[in-house]
Amino acid sequence: MQRLLPITPGVGIDADKLLVIADALAAEKVQQLVLREPWLVGDQLYEVARVMRRRLPGLILHARSAGAVEAAKSLGLAVHLRDGEPPPEDVLWGQSCHSVAGAQAAIAAGASYVTLSPAFRSESKPNDDRPTLGVRALGLAQRQLSVPVFALGGVGPVETVSLGAAGVFGVAMIHAIFGSSLSSRAIRERCRMVLLALHYHPHDRESDPID
């Protein structure tokens, strides 16, 4: 898997705009996306996913959409489950988790990756009063778990650098990629910032010569 896992915000983005999103991500060589648009169901979900898969071979269908598992099986895609949802059969899947224990249970059941949240306070969820995990706990979680961990919730480029330094595999992002604008240009710019952060190593600067 790649280290950036964008997730659509689930606000009823129409099919044409979803293709704009897919093209923008593909232009930055991002190959995966969790398609979390509950209004897409059944045959419509299948058709949109079929077209998006051409741009994003690592497309993942969110189980909130009716028919997601069936579409994923037909298209050779993975499924993303909410915390506590039972695993599907005959399809790759990952799961949203909120604790190491929950992630361990998901992995034991067959999850190929997990998201752990909330990593930090999220501006898009001001009323979310759940305790945050933070960098140290997420780094420890990755060392304890045998699959890629994606930190989710309040993660931006700055947090991405800290998470990478702590050994966390990747970052899952909603608002940081699809925030105030869904234009291709805005999405591409945000992706570039995150991708740079994923490849930034703080220790590299320590060896820079002093001017």
**Tens digit of pLDDT for each residue in 9-64?**
999 999 999 999 999 999 999 999 999 999 999 999 999 999 999 999 999 999 99
122 pLDDT tier (thresholds 50, 70, 90): confident
Are the C-beta atoms of 159 and 120 separated by less than 8 Å? Answer: yes
Q: What is the pLDDT of residue 126?
A: 72
| Res. 87 pLDDT band, cuts 50 70 90 | very high
Backbone dihedral region for residue 32 (phi beyond 0: left; psi -120 to 50: alpha; all else: beta): beta
As a whole number of angstroms, the longest Cα–Cα distance in the chain is 61
pLDDT, average across residues 57-73 = 98
User: CB of 36 within 8 A of CB of 10?
Assistant: yes
Is domain 4-200 given the CATH code 3.40.50.300 in the classification? no
Left if phi > 0, otherwise alpha if psi is -120 to 50, otherwise beta: which for 178? alpha
Structure confidence at residue 203 (pLDDT): 55
CA distances from 54 to 22, 37, 63, 119, 121 (A): 9, 19, 21, 32, 35
In this structure, what token pair is assigned to residue 125? 């969820």
Q: Is the peptide bond before 118 cis (omega within 30 degrees of 0)?
A: yes
Q: Are 67 and 95 in contact (CB under 8 A)?
A: no
Q: Is 115 exposed, middle or buried (0-12, 13-18, 19+ CB in 10 A)?
A: buried
